[in-house]
Amino acid sequence: MNRGFLALLAVSVAIQPAVLWAKPNKARLELEAQLRAHITELSSDAYDGREPGTDGEAMTLRYLGKQWFDIGLVSGTNDPANPWFAPVTIIAREPDTERAVFTRRGKRVFVPNNAVLVVTSGKRGLVENAPVLFVGKGDHIPPRAELAGRVALLLDGGSEGSERQNALLLAGASGVITVLDGDRSLEDVTAHRSRKGYALISENPGGDIEAFITPSALNGALMGTGLDLTKLKAQAEKAGFAPRTLDLAVSLEATSRETRIKTHNVIGKLPGKRPELGAVLILAHWDHFGRCAAPPAEDLICNGAVDNASGVAVLTEVARRLAKGPQPDRDIYFLATTGEEIGFMGAEAFAEDPPLPLGQIVAAFNIDTVALAPAGRPFAVVGQGMTPLDPQIAAYAKSAKRKLDDDQEANAYVRRQDGWALMRHDVPAVMISSSWSDISLVERFMESDYHRPGDQLSRGIELGGAADDVEFLTGLVRWFGDAKRVPFAAK
């Protein structure tokens, strides 16, 4: 007998004394076995790490679609042309070609090729022969009229540098060149920027131009102007510094290679009696990294057992229990998202093209990386204090005799999960799990098997907390699905 069993016993006594001695322990064992079966299947090598757009995706969709159908859910896409699986198209971009040419009064100024990096966030970015405007550290962004048609030359502000770079582009600069006069080297920036970037096809990233130049190359380009980097920095330090045009023009060009990834969110629904009173959304990401290691490593597959086969398993078992219970007032939507690992792509796509008006969603509960804690731990609310959901969550926890963890340590991770993408669209979203109440457990996982081939079933998996999560979330979703308990606050 374990503490989870005792807690369950307490609840059973309170609501259904008749079934007290029937089989609480058996139900609990059955639940853990169900979770284990899903995780075993989804994290097996056959799924090849569940990478969007691969056969591993096709297998994942087939598995979840069948499970959810058998449980008794209906399609939640609300799109007869695409039942169950809502298409999401992701564009992956990698830097391809680049060119930087500096001129003074029509004459080319020599700058070595390997001293400049030019990148674009779009397919192609191009600036021809634009005057260079020195903006110092960029702490004061010049007006649009001054930036338009010009390339801003920015001193490196370290971590704030990329924010200032973006601010200058937003304010109308044709491009931004950052002088790497701080801690970052051109190699650092190149390594960082050569990684793939991902965007939804619906986003138009345009053709921004960002460039980086070494201090010595900039000094070379300034030769004959009477200026050098030391003098420019001194000017930028002076009170009342104003941006100034340099006697220098530049042409910058960068292109990216694009690949399209055709992938899907899985959306199921348990229809409520009064859907006009809103809906409850519960979600977990199905995707992972596919093959994430390179030879000579023997195990190349990132199986993602904890991250996030466990979350999808909990989602599915919550669905099973809700489908067996009384019909809720509200519609309950079940969402397995794609592309979480590459920037919440599926959650963002859901929010941009939702199957129901987002304002109808009374509450959203995300589940990510949950098979860490043993049974009997309190439940952390990632996003506590950030949504209007807290009082109702506390009321439910109290009625279910479950303890919430209120230290808010897990809020440090609120921007690292799908719920964040929904919050950016004003959907009240939190992530509730007992695995997140002891942050040292999460951190230990992050330092070891997280996002590595070691996140697989053979590491041994703790399902006590995940089973607690199923029980908690089942009751919580039922609570929020009850229109008398949680009235609809129309937005």
* Residues of this chain that bind Zn ion (CB under 5 A): 307, 341
Residues in CB range of 17: below 8 A, 6 or more apart: none
Q: Which residue, 307 or 438, has its beta carbon nearer to Zn ion? A: 307
Closer by beta carbon to Zn ion, 51 or else 341: 341
CB 2 within 8 A of CB 377: no
Judge whether 338 and 346 are in contact, CB under 8 Å. Answer: yes
Closest CB to Zn ion among residues 341, 469: 341
**Residue nearer to Zn ion on the CB measure, 418 or 468:** 418
User: Tokens representing 450?
Assistant: 């997280």
Give the nearer residue to Zn ion in terms of CB position, either 329 or 341. Answer: 341
Nearer to Zn ion, 280 or 313 (CB): 313
Backbone φ and ψ of 178, nearest 5°? -100, 130
Instruction: Compare residues 307 and 468 and give the one whose CB is closer to Zn ion.
Output: 307
Query: Rounded to 5 degrees, what are φ and ψ at 446?
Result: -65, -35
Tokens standing for residue 435: 């695995």
Burial 348-368 (b: 16+ CB within 10 A, else e): bbbbeebbbebebbbbbbbbb
Q: Which residues pair with 213 in a beta bridge?
A: 116, 179
What CA–CA distance (Å, rounded) separates 29 from 47? 26
Please answer whether residues 456 and 41 qualify as being in contact, where contact means their C-beta atoms are separated by less than 8 angstroms: no
Q: Which residue's CB is nearer to Zn ion, number 307 or number 348?
A: 307
Yes or no: say if 173 and 153 are a contact pair by the CB < 8 Å rule. no
Task: Supply 84's token pair.
Answer: 């169950």
Pairing of strands 279-285, 361-367: parallel
Torsion of CA 49, 54, 55, 57, to 10 degrees: 70
Q: Write out the DSSP string of 216-228.
A: HHHHHHHTTTT--
| Nearest-CB residue for Zn ion | 307
Closest separation between CB of residue 288 and Zn ion, Å? 7
Residue linked to tokens 């994942």 = 60
Query: Shortest approach of Zn ion to residue 417 CB, angstroms?
Result: 9
Q: Closest distance between Zn ion and the C-beta of residue 206, in Å? A: 29
CB of 94 to Zn ion, least distance (A): 21
Cβ at position 280, least distance to Zn ion in Å: 25
> In angstroms, what is the minimal distance from the CB of 307 to Zn ion?
4
Minimum CB–partner distance for residue 418 and Zn ion (Å):
10
Q: Nearest approach, Cβ of 69 to Zn ion (angstroms)?
A: 27
